[in-house]
Amino acid sequence: MTEATAPTTPRADGEGVSLAALPLWGRFAAIIVAGVLLSLVWDGATRWPEAWTLPLAQWITDFINWLKSEATVFGVEFKAITRGIGTALEMPVDWAEYLLYRGFKKVGLDLGPLPWIAVAAGVTIFAHWVGGWRLALLCGLSMLYLATFNVWKDAMRTMTIVVVAVPMAAFIGIALGIWVTRSKTAARIISPMFDLMQATPHMAYLAPVAALFAFGPVTALIATVVFAMPPMARCTILGLQTVSSDVVEAGQMSGCTKRQLLWKVALPSSKRTLMLGLNQVVMQTLAMVVIASIAGATGLGHKLLYSLQQLRLGVAIEQGIAISLIAIVLDRLTQAYAYKETDHFASEKTWAQRHKHMLLFLVILVGSYVLAEFHRWASIPPSKFVWGAGDAKVVLFDAKLLARHMDQAIRDFNVVAFDYINPIRDWVTLWILIPVRNFFLWLPWPVFFGVVSLAAWRLGGKSVMLLCMALMASFIVTGFWVETMKTTYLVLIAAALCVLIGVPLGIWAARSERAAKIIMPICDTLQTFPSFIYLIPAIMLFRIGDFANIFAIIPYATVPAIRYTYLGLKRIPAVTVEAGIANGATRMQRLFKVELPVALPEIMLGLNQTIMMALAMTAITALIGSTDLGQEVVRSISTQDFGRGILAGFFIAALGIIADRLIGSWAAERKRQLGVA
């Protein structure tokens, strides 16, 4: 952005004429020099004075304790209300547990849970119905893995929350999306809330929910629904706003009322967008359920966390693969259903032909229940597979034994690789990470505050500047400056590495169809994995520390840099490329002087998403040794210092919002300059 395009925001009263006359770089330099000089004469410029610190965290904790012990609503104890909500939510979770792994004996029915054969067959049959034989084969093999690697029961525990949370989150999201499209007041109130909710990391949802509800499945369910709902609402808003005007007019001409127009015209026309929203709900739900193990949820996430803490990496790998396979299966199923073609000739077929997949599943279901009466392995997969009996018994496969062998192999690998990996880790930590961290910890807060504020005014005007100033002031005056700077340092280094890796890969994919066929599916797969999974290779190779944290962030947060670079280059108008060729530009000149400058707004939006994902990951990497805001969130759950955890989660979101507003404002201005806004 050139100086001529600066916002015409009036100067604040008191701004010196000499400062206003300085060029932009001069203003930044003046702020930096003034902030450093202030820190030399006043210690409070380096660390906000403790006497002036606002004890907001303690106030929040005290308020929550008051809610739990003394507060009443219309004469009813608030604690009784939360218990009532918890009891009501326990019912669907209990029934899902009865269905998937407990059986129905607690409710007086002599009936076991769904046999694993029936569940595996049902998923495979459904996959064939929505996506054909390839998808059915993928799902069938994934289900077979869960059964043979002794993780079936834990997988079903995880799925109990998923099957309850997804419908709830989808229903609430659709309702809010419809409300926002029908009410401008609701749009003004709810849309900013969605921005904050999507900027808040997974872990931060657990602290406020755990503060009001007992640790366990209910806490996991509520946090999951709240976290997974915004994508459904946003997709509903997008779907309803993009319905063709011709379709709406046709409905009006047919005499539809407003309600009929919504339910019989607009929503059916938005089916594909709504299904993509459901896909996001499913994936966010699974990611959150895995993380909710910290708040007492059982299942694969709980077992994986325990395995990582015990450094049983062989078992952790088996459990991590299981979580990844569940994520891939759910992702592929929902995507296939979203794009499934309507059978326009269904009316010409018999009832049995139309429902042949359902009939096949019912036959297998009944058969598996009958088989389970005679053989326990038909109901719950055995822990190991054997052949024969007595002295002739031969173990064909034992997942626990395989995990022990993997543990030993990893230990042997670490012994051999230690002499190669450790020097690299130590050198990077000593000469790069520690100096950068020390710089951010030394940085006077007036310098950070002033530089970001000036950048916000320069890029987005007065409104963006005031928002950024308010957010920065909140973590300065509440005593979270050190933790915020540690998070900023970690995220900036990770984001820089993600860009250095992602942008070249995006360029390569955009220029080579063969490379794109490899790189883009890998990106799809990396985005499918729950963030918890990336801790496994980090611990396996580097144990704990900032180097391991950054290593875990990179594969999770690099994907947006690749995708947006690829999309930005692919969306360049052919006329622009041809103009470069006509002017005699070489391939490299075309890239650096034509294509990348035009695609830069898209690339910067990719950087924006990379920063957001890196921030979300900091709460997860706190489990392997970070000491930033993420660690405050994790510690608050175990110590029940919920006010501190809530504020730490909010400040992670605040950093994301600041980055989003700065980068988004720049990208929007750049697009206007290019005439593509």
To the nearest 10°, report the CA torsion of 321, 322, 325, 326.
-150
Q: Which residue blocks in 42-151 are alpha helix, DSSP H? A: 56-69, 78-97, 116-131, 133-148
Give residue 392's pLDDT. Answer: 63
For strands 72-73 and 76-77, give the pairing. Answer: antiparallel
**Predicted confidence (pLDDT) per residue in 127-144, tens digit:** 999 989 999 999 999 999
Mean pLDDT of 287-300: 80
Residue 17 has pLDDT above 50, yes or no: no
Both tokens of 322, joined, read 């299981």
Give the pLDDT score at 8: 44
Whether 164 and 93 have beta carbons less than 8 Å apart is answered as yes
Whether the CB-CB separation of 146 and 322 falls below 8 Å is answered with yes
pLDDT at 9 exceeding the cut of 50: no
- At 630 the pLDDT is 87
Model confidence pLDDT, tens digit, residues 330-373: 989 988 888 887 766 667 778 788 888 899 999 999 999 888 88
Give me the pLDDT at residue 638, please. 77
Q: Which residues contact 157 (CB under 8 A, 6 or more apart)?
A: 97, 100, 101, 298, 299, 300
Rounded alpha-carbon distances, angstroms, from residue 635 to 203, 564, 623, 648: 11, 35, 10, 10
Least confident among 159-163, 223-227, 250-254: 250-254
Query: By three-state DSSP, how is residue 673 classified?
Result: helix
Give pLDDT tens digits for 473-514. 999 999 999 999 999 999 999 999 999 999 999 999 999 999
38-52, 298-312, 358-372, 605-619, range with the lowest pLDDT = 298-312
Whether the predicted pLDDT of 449 surpasses 90 = yes
Which domains, from first to last, does the chain contain?
Answer: 164-340 (1.10.3720.10), 443-674 (1.10.3720.10)
CA 217 to chain CA mean position, Å: 20
Q: Which two tokens stand for residue 403?
A: 């995990």
pLDDT at residue 16 in the model: 44
Burial class (CB in 10 A: 0-12, 13-18, 19+), 235: buried
* Contact indicator for 155, 406 with CB cutoff of 8 Å: no
| Identity at 578, one-letter amino acid code | E
Q: 502 CB contacts (<8 Å, ≥6 apart)?
A: 558, 559, 560, 561, 562, 565, 606, 610
Can you tell me the mean pLDDT for 179-198? 84
For residue 297, is pLDDT > 80? no
Residue 15's pLDDT band, with cuts at 50, 70 and 90, is: very low
* Rounded alpha-carbon distances, angstroms, from residue 565 to 91, 455, 506, 610, 661: 47, 24, 5, 12, 20
Flag the least confident range among 108-112, 178-182, 408-412, 469-473: 108-112
Q: Alpha-carbon distance 205 to 637, whole Å?
A: 11
pLDDT in tens, 27-57: 899 999 999 999 999 988 988 888 899 999 9
Query: Distance between CA 653 and CA 659 in Å, rounded?
Result: 10
pLDDT of residue 366: 92
The per-residue pLDDT for range 514-560, each reduced to its tens digit, is: 999 999 999 988 888 888 888 888 888 887 888 999 999 999 999 99
Closest CA to 290 of 151, 153, 155, 116: 155
Q: DSSP readout, 409-471?
A: HHHHHHHHHHHHHHHHHHHHIIIIIHHHHHHHHHS-HHHHHHHHHHHHHHHH-HHHHHHHHHH
> In 10 A of CB 507, how many CB atoms?
21
**Mean pLDDT calculated for residue range 147-172:** 91
- Give the C-alpha separation, 533 to 537, whole Å: 8
User: Residue 265 has what DSSP assignment?
Assistant: I
3-state secondary structure of 317: helix
Here the tokens at position 300 are 């694969």
Question: d(Cα 121, Cα 143) in Å, to the nearest integer?
Answer: 9
pLDDT of residue 494: 94
Q: For residues 494 and 452, what is the distance between their CA atoms, to the nearest angstrom?
A: 20
Rounded to the nearest integer, the mean pLDDT of the chain is 86
Cα four-point dihedral sign 109, 112, 117, 121: positive
Residue 11: which pLDDT band, with cuts at 50, 70 and 90?
very low
Instruction: Please return the burial class of 544, using the count of CB atoms within 10 Å of its CB with bins 0-12, 13-18 and 19+.
Output: middle
Other Cβ atoms within 10 Å of 143 Cβ, number: 24
| Helix ranges, 310-444 (H) | 313-338, 351-354, 356-374, 399-428, 434-442
Instruction: Indicate if the pLDDT at residue 123 is higher than 90.
Output: yes
pLDDT of residue 12: 43
Our measurement of the distance from residue 643's CA atom to the centroid of its chain's CA atoms, rounded to an integer in Å, reads 23
